[in-house]
Structure 1
Amino acid sequence: MTTTPGKPELDRKLRERVLARPDIILDDSDMMKALIAANDKTMGGNIVDLRGIAMERLEDRLDRLEDTHRSVIAAAYENLAGTNQIHRAIIRMMDGDEFETFLRDLGGEVADILGVDSMHLVLETTQDESDPAVRRLGDVLRVVDPGFISAYMDGYRTSPARQVILRQIEAGTEEMYGEKAEHTCSEACLRLDFGPGRLPGMLLMGSEDPQQFTPQQGTDLLGFFAGVFERTMRRWLS
């Protein structure tokens, strides 16, 4: 093998391999950096290597692009997992063949599937809370006066009412959460429309995790769940 005087001889097999597969070096970012650094040394310190600067900038952009790519993929997987979770909860919710079973499942297996610590159906009504049906479903059902749901969800805001509200709270109210009130640190409020002539309702999900429900999160999946739930309830109320 012919070599240039004064320069180290490259191993013949290694040289042949590099010439046959130059992509080995091109695809190796650390090796490319080493080659560029070696080239800079031969050029001296008084020469500005515009090509090297451009490559550094392209490398930074590539790193940012890869980070974005990973974030998009992670968000897609998270959204898919959330969609599957909502679908499983809806299927389980629709298994109930009696109204009481339907509501008990809501506070049991449906809540477990959704990963919440508590779930309650809040109904505005003039019915007496001492009614036997209300007492039997006391773990899940909350009966309140007309106007309560709007006040609970919207407070003093003048903006249009939203179907789903996610928020962090210092603690839940005993009226809604009972013995779990003190440990409830975030909640999801789902407004329910049962049709013309009927008072509204609300699904209330509570969590001990303050990060489970925050205002920055999307509400599309919970809005879909609320839509299916209120249509199912209309069947029971008809």
Structure 2
Amino acid sequence: MDGSQGSLEEAPLGPAAVRRFLADNPAFLREDDGLLDELGLKVAAGNVVDFGPAVMARVHAAHQREATQRQQVEETARANFSAQAQTHGAVVDLLESRNPSDLARRVDNLAQHRFGLAAGVIALETGGLPPAGWRGLVEGQVDMILDGPQRLARMGFAPTALGLFGERGERVRSMAMVRLAMWEPSRQGLLAFGSADPEGFTPDMGAELVAFLARVVERTAERWPLL
């Protein structure tokens, strides 16, 4: 084989070369049934190559992708609307609390019956007894549970928080926890929700709705100052 033949074999086959070949050999594509099938084409009347099947397949695929994306957006919007509606209903319930014990009961009740969770708890750092129905914490325990004094919330699973949920702690596989600051001088506490689903609360989730409920708990609890 001489040098010129080697150069021809090594030269890349570009679109322009393919176009010239098909223009010079119009029967090549029409008569190759196997190639037509692979390309999703067919020969229509008058020896015209019909691109309909290939074009329709691409249009259908694009439509399916668009429909799937639209459905995902709609499902997310519905889930967000439902969560907000449940949260607003929970706020009304909390504001109707008659005392600290009733507030703790309502937090646990809305966790189970409104949100389908395992438990809802209010905890407070106190040197004495916490309000009835609340969990007592030692000084600095809120920082330990939230994994730092600067953190306002923590989502996911935290083994150090299992004790908050008492006997139901063995069912809890993920938590949503938000720092509370109540009364003057400020007392540190936690609003905590526990889920039996490991994916119920994950670190990449936003804590906005839980934080909103925490602010409502703070304002409600301040009706009954600790003596």
In the superposition, the TM-score normalised over structure 2's length comes to: 0.70
Q: Measured at CA, do residues 191 and 53 of structure 1 come closer, stay the same or move farther in structure 2, by a change above 3 Å?
A: same
**For residue 167 of structure 2, what is the amino acid of its counterpart?**
E
The answer on whether the counterparts of 2:111 and 2:117 sit within 8 Å (CA) in structure 1 is: no
1:162-196 per-position Cα deviation (integer Å, ceiling 9, x unaligned):
x33210357963x3222112221111111112266
Partner of residue 3, structure 1: none
Say yes or no: does 1:87 pair with 2:62. no
Instruction: Provide the C-alpha distance between the structure 1 equivalents of 2:69 and 2:216, rounded to a whole number of angstroms.
Output: 34
Residue 223 of structure 2 aligns to a residue whose secondary structure is helix
Q: Measured at CA, do residues 114 and 182 of structure 1 come closer, stay the same or move farther in structure 2, by a change above 3 Å?
A: same
Q: How does 1:66-215 map to 2 (within 5 A)?
A: 66-109=67-110, 111-127=112-128, 129=129, 134=131, 137=132, 140-154=133-147, 160-161=150-151, 163-168=152-157, 173=162, 175-194=163-182, 197-215=185-203
Instruction: Provide the C-alpha distance between the structure 2 equivalents of 1:85 and 1:184, rounded to a whole number of angstroms.
Output: 21
Instruction: Provide the C-alpha distance between the structure 2 equivalents of 1:143 and 1:169, rounded to a whole number of angstroms.
Output: 18
Residue 105 of structure 1 aligns to a residue whose secondary structure is helix
Aligned length: 187
Q: Measured at CA, do residues 98 and 204 of structure 1 come closer, stay the same or move farther in structure 2, by a change above 3 Å?
A: same
Residue 218 of structure 1 aligns to a residue whose secondary structure is coil
Paired-residue identity, % = 24
Structure 2 residue ranges without an equivalent (≥5): 1-39
Say yes or no: does 1:62 pair with 2:29. no
The answer on whether the counterparts of 2:122 and 2:189 sit within 8 Å (CA) in structure 1 is: yes
Partner of residue 228, structure 1: 216
Partner of residue 27, structure 1: none
User: Per-residue deviation at 1:109?
Assistant: 4.6
Residue 69 of structure 2 aligns to a residue whose secondary structure is helix
Q: Measured at CA, do residues 41 and 178 of structure 1 come closer, stay the same or move farther in structure 2, by a change above 3 Å?
A: same
User: Per-residue deviation at 1:70?
Assistant: 0.4
Q: Give the number of the structure whose residues are more often strand, by fraction.
A: 2
Q: Measured at CA, do residues 117 and 109 of structure 1 come closer, stay the same or move farther in structure 2, by a change above 3 Å?
A: same
Say yes or no: does 1:40 pair with 2:42. yes
Q: Which 4+ residue blocks in structure 1 deviate beyond 6 angstroms? A: 43-46
Structure 1 residue ranges without an equivalent (≥5): 1-36
